[in-house]
Amino acid sequence: MPPKKELCRYFQRGSCQYGTRCKFLHTTPQQSQSNRFGFGAQTSSPNPQPNPFGFDTQTSRTPNQQPNPQPNPFGFGVQSSAHSRGGDGFVSKPNQVKPFDNKWSRFSNVNNSSAPASRPANNQPSAANHTCTTDIESCKRVILEDLENEKPLWKLTCYGHSRNGPCDIVGDISYDELRALAYDDAKHGKDIASIVERERNLLNSKLLEFQNLAQKPYPVSSAPTPSSQNMFGGGSIIAPVANNGFSSQVSSFSQLSGSSNTRSAAAPNFSFGQPNAFQNNTQPSSFQTNNSPFNTSGAFGIQPQHSTTQSFSPFGTSSNNGALSAPQNPFSTPASLPQTGNGPGKQLNFFTNEPITASSAIGLTNTSIQLINNIPTENANVDDGVWTKAQWNVGEIPEEEPPTIYIN
């Protein structure tokens, strides 16, 4: 028992340098429970949550009085969980301003030979803590919370639920782009009403995407590698103006596949929204590696004749009973799907035993299919007529991919 009965005032602030050997009492003060954040504002805040820092309208500042237990009282989200401010005292670091540290140039020399891409793969400690495959529930919760509480006023944005993780919703439009577009349209004589109309449509479709995400919060797995370029140039496809119907189709589609796909946690339902999946080489369980996006033709499309639980969602994964070794890369499937001869852009009819109600929703198809151009050709030892059939029945599903001529 320390000799004095006084409370340590530095401990209250979370920064006592004496730690356990401090001669004052290290407990949270009883009478100031209501003043957890000691923020200068004498409001008794009932919520123990991190204080929305920066919201304080006072202009006079006092040094923060942070009680110790909260790791991030002001919403300072410390990313690495390894960093904890133990009760030992929060050592104050002097301003570590090193003028142009040598470390920087050292990395650059190394970079010449070793592929820069491998370097980022190693050093993402914060992102690696989070894998949606293992902890999908908390990811869902994060998504729902975000969409409830953290809705920015600018709606035309991408969104990713995990820091340093890939986007769940792509399709970013910035203020300036919208404005530039509007100015250009005005120059070309469009009247304000139609401009506003177009912008409103953009806004609505984006809001719809977010709503769909909220309803079916299947997050995209965060890759240990940083999201590198979408190999399909997804960003370019989702051009601001052309995005309207397209993106909403994606979302409604993902709902579909989500419903049929309750099991596989890594289900990449955001098939289009998550092109980054391809870059993810190190998660074999969740995504096919990107160097063989089409190789699942064997695995996916072609099932032995189960009559029961084979529900193939066109672009998503199939929920079957472990017949598939790995969840499917959604982009691979179009490769193995026969065209009905209608040509690109039309609906595809899929081989399925269950009625797919959303096959009509899959109008989005073909842009993605177009992208997949290097389809390996294999000799089909089935009648080629199969490929032009409109619908497949059980028993005639071929085991190979269609020859290239039938794609497109």
Partner 1 sequence: MATFGASTTNVNPNRSAEVASPPSDSVSSLCFSSKANHLIATSWDNQVLCSAWKDDGTTVFSGGCDKQVKMWPLLSGGQPVTVAMHDAPIKELAWIPEMSLLVTGSWDKTLRYWDLRQPNPTWVQQLPERCYALTVKHPLMVVGTADRNLVVFNLQNPQTEFKRVVSPLKYQTRCLAAFPDRQGFLVGSIEGRVGVHHLDDAQSSKNFTFKCHRDGNDIYSVNSLNFHPVHQTFATAGSDGAFNFWDKDSKQRLKAMLRFVTTGAKVLKITIHQQQRPIFTYISPRRLRSRANHGLEQAVGSEVSSYSRGAEVKGKPRAGTSGRK
* Residue numbers 136-155 binding partner 1 by CB under 8 A: 146, 149-155
What token pair was written down for 172? 């970013």
What token pair was written down for 97? 């301003």
For residues 3 to 42, the per-residue mask of contacts with partner 1, x marking binding by CB under 8 A and - elsewhere, is: -------x--xxxxxx------------------------
CB of 152 or CB of 395, closer to partner 1: 152
On the CB side of 203, CA atoms within 13 Å amount to: 11
Binding residue for partner 1 (CB under 8 A) from 19, 29, 74, 128? 74
Contact status: 63 vs partner 1 (CB under 8 A): yes
Binding residue for partner 1 (CB under 8 A) from 30, 57, 118, 262? 57
CB of 227 or CB of 261, closer to partner 1: 227
Binding residue for partner 1 (CB under 8 A) from 35, 37, 67, 90? 90
What token pair was written down for 319? 């929920």
| 406 SS3 class | helix
Least distance from partner 1 to the Cβ atom of residue 11, Å: 9
Least distance from partner 1 to the Cβ atom of residue 50, Å: 9
For residues 171 to 210, the per-residue mask of contacts with partner 1, x marking binding by CB under 8 A and - elsewhere, is: xx-x-xxxxx-xxx-x-----x--xx--xx-xx-------
Nearest to 170, CA basis, from 273, 280, 247 = 273
Least distance from partner 1 to the Cβ atom of residue 189, Å: 14
- The per-residue DSSP string of 249-267 comes to HHHHHHHHHHHT--S-TT-
Rounded Cα distance between 110 and 396, Å, is 55
What token pair was written down for 373? 């151009």
CB of 48 or CB of 344, closer to partner 1: 48
Give the binding range for partner 1 (CB under 8 A) out of 48-56, 309-317, 334-342, 369-377.
48-56
CB of 1 or CB of 100, closer to partner 1: 100
Size of the site for partner 1 (CB under 8 A): 101
What token pair was written down for 17? 């340098």
- The per-residue DSSP string of 145-180 comes to HHHHH---S--S--B-SSTTS--SB-----HHHHHH
Least distance from partner 1 to the Cβ atom of residue 388, Å: 38
Q: Evaluate whether 258 touches 373 at the Cβ level (below 8 Å).
A: no
What token pair was written down for 160? 């990713």
Binding residue for partner 1 (CB under 8 A) from 6, 88, 101, 354? 101
Residue 400 CB burial class (10 angstroms; 0-12, 13-18, ≥19): middle
Least distance from partner 1 to the Cβ atom of residue 185, Å: 10
Rounded Cα distance between 233 and 274, Å, is 11
Contacts within 8 Å (CB) and 24+ apart, 302-310:
302/336, 302/397, 302/398, 302/399, 302/400, 303/397, 305/394, 305/395, 305/397, 307/353, 307/394, 308/353, 310/352, 310/353
| 106 SS3 class | helix
Least distance from partner 1 to the Cβ atom of residue 122, Å: 8
Neighbours of 151 (CB within 10 A): 11
Contact status: 129 vs partner 1 (CB under 8 A): no
Nearest to 130, CA basis, from 180, 173, 80 = 80
Scanning residues 214 to 253, which ones bind partner 1 (CB under 8 A)? 226-230, 235-236
- 319 DSSP β-pair partners: 311
Rounded Cα distance between 79 and 53, Å, is 17
Binding residue for partner 1 (CB under 8 A) from 5, 55, 188, 291? 55
Contact status: 82 vs partner 1 (CB under 8 A): yes
Binding residue for partner 1 (CB under 8 A) from 67, 160, 327, 398? 160
Least distance from partner 1 to the Cβ atom of residue 82, Å: 6
Neighbours of 27 (CB within 10 A): 10
CB of 72 or CB of 388, closer to partner 1: 72
Least distance from partner 1 to the Cβ atom of residue 328, Å: 24
Scanning residues 105 to 124, which ones bind partner 1 (CB under 8 A)? 105, 107-108, 111-112, 116, 119-120, 123
Contact status: 46 vs partner 1 (CB under 8 A): no
Torsion, Cα of 211, 213, 215, 221 (10° steps): -170
Least distance from partner 1 to the Cβ atom of residue 277, Å: 14
CB of 80 or CB of 379, closer to partner 1: 80
Give the binding range for partner 1 (CB under 8 A) out of 26-34, 55-63, 128-136, 250-258.
55-63
